[in-house]
Structure 1
Amino acid sequence: MKNGKAVAAAFAGLALGAASPVARAQSSVTLYGVIDTAIDISNQGHGTLVRETSGAMQGSRWGFIGKEDLGGGYQAIFTLENGFNANTGTAGQGGLLFGRQAFVGFTGPQGTLTFGRQYSPEFWAFTYNDAFLGGLQGGLSDFYRTLLDGSQKNMMNAYASNGRTNNSVVYKTPNLYGFTVTAMYAFGGVPGSIKDGQTVSGWVNYTLGGFAFNGAYLRTITTNGAGDLIAWTAGGTYTIGPAQIFLAYSKDTDTTANTPALTGPKVQFSLVNLGLRYQITPALTAMAQVVHVINTSDGLSASQNAYIEAIGLQYALSKRTAVFASYGQVQNKNGSTYSLGGAVYLAGVATPNSVGRTFQLGMRTSF
């Protein structure tokens, strides 16, 4: 009986606590998602390839955003975001449950501090310097190269490997005179070494009127400490009326083939992009971009620099649904094998020295 009374008292205490002012703090959880699918028609030197894809403009996803008011202008926040392939129903990001994002933290007058799997600061700067915002045929993150074994690898490998970073801590300052600074540290988790396996990244944004600058840096050290991935970008946009002009320089260096027993080749690419977004009508947006690919990797017998040109259109049928189309091409030379993919899918396998051409027609809806 005594135990029964104790249990009853405990439940009564919980009920009183639930009715207290602290427990009535404002909180919310929002379910959201994006479904993006497209028909992709390309020719990379192997004949015409026609396929249905998911993630041409944006990766298909669903997730939860939550917040709780802690008082004094502070909130506890979290995001859980799952990626999937709309054309097959399979999971994205290697089958991870919340492979796109999974983090928790605080936000308030002094800024935002979050912990978990989250986008690196360099990811955001690189994306905002891109007229295609990372999607369609002209997105800076959608350029690939075909390796000798027929596999494909992202041209900007440091960006691709660390766009989302595990075990990370990110702090973003409040806006101060137009400046915001974002810094990230990701733990390597290697016994006996603080350095090995770690990732550091930073982003400085400055906005004044129609001008915006984005500069960022990222470095990941391999778990054996013998190689690294380095990415940085500097550029910005200028908005005048319905037009937004983009200009940026980005560089990506990959020495992760290095081990204590073998010195591997350095793979290094730079991109110089000049782009434009133009709001033709409130519903219709046009995009165009020219990108100069500069390949300074080790072991090249001749220049494999190239130009990529892309155009795109997006038409909003409503606030949530849009249709889009884009075309891009790249001129390969001296053995280069560059090709164009989508926001989250690989390009077709390229034949050396071919002119790769790709066309997309798709639809995106959100909820």
Structure 2
Amino acid sequence: MKKTFLAASVVISSCIFHAAHAQSSVTLYGIVDNGIEYQNGGANRVIRMSSGGMFATVYGLIGHEDIGGGVHVNFQLEQGFSAANGAASVPGDAFNRLAWVGMSGQFGEFRVGRQKKPQYLYLDGLLDPLAGKSIASPLGNFMSTTVRANNAIAYFTPNYRGLTGQFMVAMRDSTTKPSNGIQFYNAVFKYVNGPWILGTGYEQQDSPAGTSVQKAFTAASSLKVNAARFYLVYHTETQSDGSENVAVYSASASYLFNPANEIVVMYGYLHDRSGRGDNAQQLGLSYEYFLSKSSMIYVAAGLIDNRNQAAYTLKGTEYAGIAVTPGATARGIIIGLTHKF
């Protein structure tokens, strides 16, 4: 009798465990991106291996649990590292890129923790065909806004006839002055109507030392026409201490010849509105050959024409460009391989 009862208990427990397990999932994912790069910044030039030429090299965990009533508890943890030497992007940080937990349902979605800002997360697909990544992207090289925020609270609205919004505030901590209150806020809206997408966003962030405030505004649009997609972007950044006052205009297009071949052309112009004349313009090109759904070979190139004391450089997705002589032409090319898992 005892043996029968024990066997029944094991079966029931197993069924309960599997039922509970079926309501939640955790996925390990990652990207490995490595390339060989050449850059010339006037007086400086370099040939080097660069990790993150097109996508950041990362690994992470993303999980969801269905707690009933259409409500889910979600989390994401993500760490960046170099595929060239295996070193963490930020030594000492367990998950330097993402570390958040939240809930989603018919009410929308809340997230709390370190996460991507709405300006980047919500508009990256509208910035240009490369989502503001690689040395080929003028927006990636001209924009100085940070990608992520610590201590952040974000809310995503439900979709209403193609219109969605995202709002975020980020709290101060011991690394900022003052050490409490709100340091950053952002609001972004996006409208999708078939092949046409329109987005706009505004953000304001105090410097860690509390000495100045950066304000950024972005308006972006893209339109898909058969195998091509076209992008237009207007972006402004100002710093209250007068160190920055620029407007960036960008136009780009991608064309998918077939499922394995895509080419991208990008142009960007940065206007220095301070009156100093430190303007710059960039032409960017990229070619992607898709080996499979998970792997691709890419070539990306960029040329920046700096004027007066402008010294904009070619930045990769996860690394800084080399020092550029003020007023010099910066140019570079990278050939790389990416695998996603």
Q: Verify same fold: TM over 0.5.
A: yes
Change (3 A) 1:91 1:19: same
Q: Distance in 2 between matches of 1:229 and 1:280?
A: 41
Aligned to 1:42: 39
Q: CA deviation at 1:228?
A: 1.0
TM-score (norm 1): 0.83
Task: Give the counterpart of 1:167 among 143, 151, 164.
Answer: 151
Structure 2 distance, partners of 1:273, 1:317, is 30
Cα displacement (A) at 1:224: 5.8
Residue type matched to 1:76 in 2? Answer: V
- Of 272, 290, 303 in structure 1, the residue corresponding to residue 267 of structure 2 is 290
Quick one: distance in 2 between partners of 1:103 and 1:208? Answer: 30
Work out the CA distance in 2 between the residues paired with 1:24 and 1:352: 59
CA distance in 1, matches of 2:270, 2:301: 18
- Superposed, 1:346-365 pairs within 5 Å as 346-365=320-339
Match among 97, 102, 106 for residue 105 of structure 1: 102
Alpha-carbon distance change, 306 to 142 in structure 1, aligned in 2, over 3 angstroms = same
Match of 1:3 in 2: none
Judging changes above 3 Å, is the alpha-carbon distance between structure 1 residues 352 and 194 closer, same or farther for their aligned structure 2 residues? closer
- Per-residue CA deviation, residues 102-131 of structure 1 (Å, 9 max, x unaligned), is 100111111111110000111124422223
Contact persistence 1:324–1:361 (CA under 8 A) = yes
After TM superposition, the structure 1 stretch with the greater mean CA deviation from structure 2, 241-250 or 181-190, is 181-190
In 2, distance between residues paired with 1:322 and 1:227?
Answer: 42
Residues of 2 paired with 1:126 and 1:296: CA distance? 24
Match of 1:88 among 82, 85, 90: 85
Cα distance in 2 between the residues matched to 1:212 and 1:195: 38
Cα offset, 1:336, TM superposition: 1.7
Structure-2 residue corresponding to 1:203:
188
Q: Deviation digits for residues 53-83 of structure 1, max 9, x if unmatched?
A: 1111111000001111111111111000010
User: How many angstroms apart in 2 are the aligned matches of 1:59 and 1:245?
Assistant: 24
Please say if 1:271 is aligned against 2:248: yes
Matched letter for residue 136 of structure 1:
S
Q: Following the alignment from structure 1 to structure 2, what is the Cα–Cα distance between the partners of residues 329 and 118?
A: 31
Give the C-alpha shift of residue 363 in structure 1.
0.6
**Residues in 2 aligned to 1:328 and 1:322: alpha-carbon distance in whole angstroms:** 20
Match of 1:136 in 2: 134
- 1:27 paired with 2:21, answer no
Distance 2:217 2:306 in 1: 25
Q: Deviations over 1:295-332 (max 9, x none)?
A: 224xx6x4121210011001110111100001110112
Identity across matched positions, percent: 29
Unaligned runs of 5+ in 2: 1-8
The amino acid that maps onto 1:364 is T
* Corresponding letter in the other structure for 1:279: L
Q: CA deviation at 1:246?
A: 0.3
Partner of 1:186: 170
Total equivalences in the alignment:
329
Higher mean displacement: 184-193 or 285-294: 184-193
Cα 1:223–1:60, aligned 2, differ >3 Å: closer, same or farther?
Answer: closer
For residues 193 and 216 of structure 1, the distance between their equivalents in structure 2, rounded to whole angstroms, comes to 26
Q: Using a 3 Å threshold, how does the CA distance of structure 1 residues 355 and 189 change in structure 2: closer, same or farther?
A: closer
DSSP-derived class of the 1:346 partner: coil
Change (3 A) 1:168 1:140: farther
Q: Please tell me whether residue 156 in structure 1 is matched to residue 153 in structure 2.
A: no
The alpha carbon displacement at 1:252 in A equals 1.6
Instruction: Indicate how the Cα distance of structure 1 residues 21 and 130 shifts in structure 2: closer, same or farther if over 3 A, else same.
Output: same
Unaligned runs of 5+ in 1: 1-11, 144-154, 256-263
Q: Does 1:233 align with 2:230?
A: no
CA contact (8 A) 1:314 1:322 kept: yes
Checking the alignment, whether the CA contact within 8 Å between 1:221 and 1:227 is kept in structure 2 is: yes
Provide the rounded CA distance (Å) in 1 between the counterparts of 2:312 and 2:210.
30
